[in-house]
C-alpha cells in the first residue's frame, strides 16, 4: 500500500527548493501558499557539508519569534507523508526543532523553528501531534 500525504509542513526556506525535495523525498511536493504570523526571518550559518551541498548555501533562513501578529513569514504548506516528515527531520540541523503552529489560513502545520523556542521548551515535553488533511 502506498503511503498517502497526511501531514502538513510549513516551509519558508530550503525545503521549498525542487532539488532538495527530489533528493530528500524522491519527488517534488505539492503545497499551498500560506503565512506564519508572529515571526520574522533571520539567517543561520549551516556547517553540515551534506546540507550545504544539497541546498547550495551555508546560510539558511530561520524563524525569529516576535509575538507580534503583524509580523509574518510567507511560505508554503507542503503535504507530505510521515516517512517524508522523518526525512525532513534528518535533513534539518540542530539549530532547528520541529513544532506545531497555527498558520494564517487557520490550518495547523509542523514547522522548523529555532531550537529551544517551541512548546516543548516551555513544558519540557515533546509534542507528538499530527495534522491530518
Q: What is the mean pLDDT of residues 3-30?
A: 92
Please report, for residues 12, 47, 48, the alpha-carbon distance to residue 111 in angstroms, rounded to integers and kept in the order given: 9, 21, 20
High-pLDDT (> 70) share of the chain, %: 86
Report the C-alpha gap between 49 and 10 in whole angstroms.
Answer: 24
Whether pLDDT at 56 is above 80: yes
DSSP label at residue 122:
H
- Residue 132: band (very low, low, confident or very high) from pLDDT cuts 50, 70, 90: very low
Q: What is the mean pLDDT of residues 44-50?
A: 86
Whether pLDDT at 127 is above 80: no
What grid cell was written down for 42?
Answer: 533571520
Q: Output the DSSP codes for 27-78.
A: SPPEEEEEEEETEEEEEEE---HHHHHHHT-SEEEEEEE---TT-EEEEEEE
Amino acid at each position: 500500500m502506498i503511503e498517502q500525504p497526511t501531514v502538513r509542513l510549513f516551509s519558508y526556506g530550503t525545503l521549498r527548493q525542487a532539488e532538495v525535495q527530489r533528493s530528500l523525498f524522491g519527488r517534488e511536493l505539492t503545497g499551498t501558499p500560506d503565512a506564519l504570523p508572529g515571526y520574522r526571518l533571520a539567517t543561520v550559518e549551516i556547517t553540515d557539508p551534506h546540507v550545504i551541498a544539497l541546498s547550495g548555501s551555508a546560510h539558511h533562513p530561520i524563524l525569529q519569534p516576535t509575538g507580534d501578529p503583524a509580523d509574518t513569514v510567507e511560505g508554503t504548506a507542503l503535504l507530505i507523508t510521515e516517512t517524508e516528515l522523518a526525512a525532513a527531520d534528518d535533513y534539518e540541523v540542530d539549530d532547528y526543532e520541529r513544532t506545531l503552529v497555527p498558520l494564517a489560513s487557520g490550518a495547523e502545520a509542523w514547522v522548523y523553528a529555532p531550537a529551544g523556542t517551541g512548546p516543548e521548551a516551555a513544558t519540557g515535553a515533546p509534542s507528538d501531534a499530527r495534522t491530518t488533511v
